[in-house]
């Protein structure tokens, strides 16, 4: 007899959803999380004032040593380092001539604590993209299969946004949007007039602007417009596993949360070829043990889940568990950024903003949609904001005394900043391998990340930079700053923090790892619903899609469990 | 805690006043000696000695004086810089600051024809203002002065008096409004 009905490996964005759904279906669920448990009172730093910040928020020498890679991300601050892994403890290598910035946090809730909450649906155009242009394999699902699940997760998670009726960016179920600023409204009008087919809309963010009873029953409250989200939110006002899915799972009484235990392998029962459970290592004591269950869900994050599968190789499956297709570890994607821009938008000097918006505006993809593109397939969307420049503009500037104080307290002009997130093509060359002999301190082989963006991404980032310039000019921007569109390169893999694709789903077991239910073709009681399943990436931030597929897969698995198929 | 802070503020005002009458001239050559008990126990100990701290206090308060709102000394900017240099700064940073301050002292004393911190507030303003202009107009190259000034600005506007008096601060705004009349919220937000 297995100890549990379901094992969920990892308690982040996707694992939280599987845990909730399975617990609510009445199954006994063990969530196995390699990091520590999170306690809002101890771990969240959302009540910190500017004057509580140590050393003017400068990174310490120790930070730069311990968190060499993590400390580069904007959400790493002196008061949020508790949410990032120490790079010294979690080494990885990149293949020669490649770069990959692997950003992550190992604790209850995973990256759902630090995420920027932008939540967009993929569209039918995205689900057809691989089939249309021949890159990767065709998604085994279409938008209509996912649409009810998007509804389902949005309703529970709580997304603020506006209904726009766009084919490229389907509408969902929204709480009231965050207003655009006066300068953004002006920008919107000018862009939409100058470029028919482009739209500037409020960002869609997983922040509660009008909480439902269901959300309040979980102890979640309205967003207080502090924009301290990546410090954790004591109001539970943005969606995280910690604020939403794990509490929902816990209240069923069916959840066993096992922290500080890393899963190293999936155990396969020889007689049946099915998963019997997982092998774990206590991250504090090094003690090894097994946990057994009828069904295993891997939700450790794209790279860790892939590593677990590769590390579970056996005589029967020499290239990694469930890897008869040979696709495990391949097609590593992210979103490329790099097309950035900023400018001053003249006017509106008699206007200001109130509160701190945890959000911005969004410009949905228009290339290869309402407008043609040369030199690349697919496209990009922009995220940005326009705010008045604040006290820091008194720095690097002439003036002392009254003049300096006046400069610092008087709102400056409106400055707009935008960045494009572009789609990365699935490419078998971009892959994750395990190191043949180096391991981490728990004896797990370290990964070698081997990914580089190609011509399509390069041409895209250059066009995105041209489009950025053109829009800033059309909006009457001055002091326009962008990279040189003729030479700009996409930011290196990893920086988008949207790693995905290394156990893709498909229609054919010989070319894909998972079927349309996120179920392993080879091992019917094994599911993966973190970003590994993504057959293509779209250009939208992916987490909402992971949530929808997680809920869908969990409910499907629950049916199979109930009818005895698995 | 409050009382202590208040006390420290008075002490810094006092430190400048003291130096104005030459009271701590004696310590300027003696690093952290206890020759002047008042000054020594008054300032936070660390990388900067009493003379450095007197200069830092004079410079900070000249850059960001108390007006109808708090000034750099009210906000304990010198202490913040002391802590930054002592606890955060590595050797490179520390020697950069010590050298930078020493140079700045020489240059300003020369321009003032007296020890900068002994000048009246308005005279300090004149001397520093002229120097500031020369640096930012590109007539004089002084990267340290730029860094120093930026650090003072940061230390002040991130402090409680800086954020809440000189600027406007709402720890928990409660809602976001994208477009409000400036006349309702005329000051920059601290964050
Ligand atoms: C700063 C930042 C901003 C972001 N902004 C956005 C955004 O705006 N919109 C968006 O859609 N996405 C955003 N993301 C990405 C988003 O956070 C991820 O897509 C999402 O969290 C991935 O979910 P996951 O379940 O795959 O992994 P995670 O949330 O990372 O969870 C994985 C969990 O598995 C655990 N784990 C790992 N290995 C093991 C093991 N061997 N055994 C047991 N447990 C293990 C980890 O500790 C972790 O808790 C952002 C991320 C960051 C860091």
| Max Cα-Cα span within chain A | 82
Chain B touched by A562 (CB under 8 Å):
no
Residue given tokens 């895209």 in the structure block? A460
Please, what is the Cα angle at A326 between A529 and A566, to 5 degrees? 45
By Cβ distance, the residue of B136, B174, B176 closest to A357 is: B176
3-class SS at B61? helix
CA dihedral for A518, A520, A523, A524, sign (positive or negative): positive
Q: What pLDDT, on the 0 to 100 scale, is given for residue A382?
A: 98
| H/E stretch holding A24 | helix A13-24
pLDDT for A491-525, tens place per residue? Answer: 999 999 999 999 999 999 999 999 999 999 999 99
In chain A, the residue whose alpha carbon lies closest to the alpha carbon of B85 is A55
Contact B151, A56 (CB under 8 A): yes
Q: For residue B64, which residues of chain A lie inside 8 Å, CB to CB?
A: 401, 404-405
Q: Between B11 and B143, name the one with better pLDDT.
A: B143
Q: What pLDDT, on the 0 to 100 scale, is given for residue B42?
A: 57
Q: Is A301 in the pocket of ligand 1 (CB under 6 A)?
A: yes
ipTM surpassing 0.90? yes
pLDDT for B13-24, tens place per residue? Answer: 444 443 433 333
CA dist B17 to B9, B53, B111, Å?
A: 12, 13, 21
A519 CA distance to ligand 1 centroid (A)? 20
Closest C-alpha residue for ligand 1 atom 49: A110
Within A386-531, residue ranges assigned H as helices are 401-409, 455-474
> Across the 566 residues of chain A, what is the mean pLDDT of every consecutive 10-residue run?
96 99 98 98 96 95 96 96 98 98 98 98 98 98 98 98 98 98 98 97 98 98 98 98 98 98 97 97 98 98 98 95 97 95 98 98 98 98 98 97 98 98 98 98 98 98 98 98 97 97 98 98 98 98 99 98 96
Angstrom distance (rounded) from CA B191 to CA B176: 13
pLDDT for A102-137, tens place per residue? Answer: 999 999 999 999 999 999 999 999 999 999 999 999
Scanning B30-59 for CB atoms below 8 A from A yields none
Q: What pLDDT, on the 0 to 100 scale, is given for residue A336?
A: 95
Q: For residue A400, which residues of chain B lie inside 8 Å, CB to CB?
A: 62-63, 125, 128-129, 132
Q: What pLDDT, on the 0 to 100 scale, is given for residue B43?
A: 65
By Cβ distance, the residue of A51, A56, A182 closest to B163 is: A51
CA dist A276 to A6, A100, A321, A539, B178, Å?
A: 10, 34, 13, 37, 54
A93-94 and A201-202 beta bridge pairing: unpaired
Angstrom distance (rounded) from CA A450 to CA A448: 6
* Ramachandran category for residue A181: left, alpha or beta (phi over 0 → left; psi -120 to 50 → alpha): beta
Cα A437 to its chain centre, rounded Å, is: 30
Q: Between B183 and B24, name the one with better pLDDT.
A: B183
B35 CA distance to ligand 1 centroid (A)? 58
Q: Please state the rounded mean pLDDT for residues B81-95.
A: 97
Q: What pLDDT, on the 0 to 100 scale, is given for residue A338?
A: 83
pLDDT for B53-72, tens place per residue? Answer: 999 999 999 999 999 999 99
Which pTM does this prediction carry? 0.94
DSSP-assigned states of every residue in A25-86: TT--EEEE-SSB---HHHH--TT--GGGSGGGGPPPHHHHHHTTTGGGSTT--TTTGGGS--
| H/E stretch holding A183 | helix A182-194
Q: What pLDDT, on the 0 to 100 scale, is given for residue A1?
A: 84
By Cβ distance, the residue of A350, A353, A404 closest to B63 is: A404
Residue A497: burial class (beta carbons within 10 Å; 0-12, 13-18, 19+):
buried
Half-sphere exposure of A553 (CA within 13 A, CB side): 35
Scanning B71-110 for CB atoms below 8 A from A yields 80, 83-84, 87-88, 90
Partners of A519 in the beta sheet? A527
Q: For residue A398, which residues of chain B lie inside 8 Å, CB to CB?
A: 132-133, 136-137
* Ramachandran category for residue A56: left, alpha or beta (phi over 0 → left; psi -120 to 50 → alpha): left
B146–A182 C-beta distance less than 8 A: no
Q: For residue A388, which residues of chain B lie inside 8 Å, CB to CB?
A: 188
Angstroms from A542 CA to nearest CA on chain B = 26
Instruction: Pick from A45, A46, A51 the residue to mutate for testing the B interface (most B CBs within 10 Å).
Output: A51
Residue given tokens 């979640």 in the structure block? A220
A401–B190 C-beta distance less than 8 A: no
Q: What pLDDT, on the 0 to 100 scale, is given for residue A25?
A: 98
By Cβ distance, the residue of A350, A355, A408 closest to B157 is: A408
Atom of ligand 1 nearest to the CA of A10: 34
Q: For residue B128, which residues of chain A lie inside 8 Å, CB to CB?
A: 400
CA dist A109 to A4, A43, A559, Å?
A: 21, 12, 26
Scanning A396-425 for CB atoms below 8 A from B yields 396-402, 404-405, 408-411
Extents of the domains making up chain B: 8-37, 39-164
Angstrom distance (rounded) from CA A444 to CA A281: 10
């Amino acid at each position: 007899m297995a100890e549990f009905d379901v094992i969920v490996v990892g308690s982040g964005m996707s694992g939280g959803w599987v845990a909730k759904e399975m617990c609510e279906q009445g199954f006994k669920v063990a969530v196995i999380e390699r990091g520590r448990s999170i306690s809002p009172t101890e771990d969240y730093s959302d009540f910190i004032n500017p004057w509580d910040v140590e050393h003017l928020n400068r990174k310490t020498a120790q930070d730069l040593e311990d968190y060499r890679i993590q400390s580069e991300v904007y959400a790493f601050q002196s008061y949020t380092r508790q949410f990032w892994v120490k790079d010294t403890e979690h080494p990885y290598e990149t293949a020669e001539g490649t770069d990959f910035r692997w950003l992550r946090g190992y604790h209850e809730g995973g990256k759902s604590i630090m995420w920027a909450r932008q939540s967009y649906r993929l569209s039918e155009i995205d689900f057809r993209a691989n089939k249309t242009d021949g890159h990767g394999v065709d998604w085994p699902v279409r938008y209509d299969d996912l649409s009810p699940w998007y509804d389902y997760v949005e309703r529970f998670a709580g997304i603020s946004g506006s209904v726009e009726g766009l084919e490229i960016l389907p509408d969902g179920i929204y709480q009231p949007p965050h207003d655009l600023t006066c300068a953004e409204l002006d920008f919107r009008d000018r862009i939409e007039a100058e470029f028919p087919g482009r739209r500037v809309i409020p960002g869609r963010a997983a922040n509660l602007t009008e909480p439902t009873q269901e959300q309040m029953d979980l102890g979640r409250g309205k967003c207080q417009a502090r924009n301290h989200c990546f410090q954790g939110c004591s109001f539970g006002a943005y969606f995280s596993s910690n604020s939403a899915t794990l509490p929902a799972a816990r209240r069923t009484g069916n959840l066993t949360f096992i922290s500080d235990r890393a899963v190293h392998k999936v155990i396969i029962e020889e007689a049946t070829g099915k998963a019997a459970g997982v092998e774990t290592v206590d991250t504090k004591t090094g003690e090894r043990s097994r946990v057994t269950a009828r069904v295993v869900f891997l939700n450790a994050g794209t790279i860790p889940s892939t590593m677990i599968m590769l590390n579970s190789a056996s005589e029967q499956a020499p290239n990694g568990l469930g890897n008869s297709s040979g696709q495990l570890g391949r097609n590593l994607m992210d979103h490329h950024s790099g097309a950035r821009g900023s400018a001053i938008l003249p006017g509106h000097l008699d206007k200001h903003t109130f509160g701190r918006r945890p959000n911005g505006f969004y410009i949905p993809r228009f290339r290869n949609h309402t407008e043609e593109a040369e030199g690349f397939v697919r496209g990009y969307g922009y995220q940005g904001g326009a705010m008045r420049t604040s006290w820091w503009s008194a720095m690097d500037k002439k003036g002392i005394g009254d003049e300096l104080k006046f400069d610092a307290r008087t709102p400056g002009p409106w400055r707009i900043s935008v960045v494009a997130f572009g789609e990365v093509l699935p490419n078998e060359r971009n892959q994750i391998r395990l190191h043949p002999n180096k391991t981490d301190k728990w004896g797990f082989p370290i990964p070698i990340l081997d990914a580089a963006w190609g011509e399509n991404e390069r041409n895209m980032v250059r066009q995105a930079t041209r489009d950025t310039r053109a829009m800033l000019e059309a909006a009457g921007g001055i002091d326009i700053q962008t990279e040189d569109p003729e030479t700009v390169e996409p930011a290196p893999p990893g920086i988008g923090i949207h790693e995905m694709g290394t156990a893709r789903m498909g229609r054919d077991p010989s070319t894909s790892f998972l079927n349309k239910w996120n179920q392993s073709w080879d091992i019917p009681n094994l599911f993966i619903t973190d970003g590994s399943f993504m057959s293509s990436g779209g250009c939208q931030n992916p987490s909402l899609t992971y949530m929808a597929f997680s809920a869908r897969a969990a409910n499907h698995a629950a049916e199979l469990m109930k009818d005895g198929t698995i | 805690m409050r009382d202590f802070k208040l006390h420290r503020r008075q002490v810094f005002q006092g430190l400048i006043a003291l130096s104005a009458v030459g009271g701590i001239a004696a310590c300027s050559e003696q690093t952290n000696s206890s020759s002047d008990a008042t000054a020594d126990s008054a300032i936070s100990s660390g990388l900067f000695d009493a003379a450095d701290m007197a200069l830092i206090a004079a410079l900070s308060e000249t850059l960001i004086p108390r007006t109808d709102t708090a000034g750099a000394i009210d906000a304990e900017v010198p202490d913040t810089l002391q802590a930054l240099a002592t606890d955060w700064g590595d050797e490179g940073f520390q020697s950069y600051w010590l050298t930078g301050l020493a140079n700045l002292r020489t240059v300003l004393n020369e321009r003032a024809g007296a020890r900068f911190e002994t000048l009246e507030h308005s005279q300090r303003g004149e001397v520093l203002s002229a120097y500031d202009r020369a640096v930012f107009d590109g007539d004089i190259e002084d990267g340290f002065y730029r860094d120093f000034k930026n650090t003072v600005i940061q230390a002040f506007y991130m402090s409680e008096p800086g954020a809440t008096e000189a600027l406007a601060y709402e720890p928990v705004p409660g809602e976001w409004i994208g477009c409000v009349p400036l006349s309702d919220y005329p000051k920059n937000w601290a964050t």
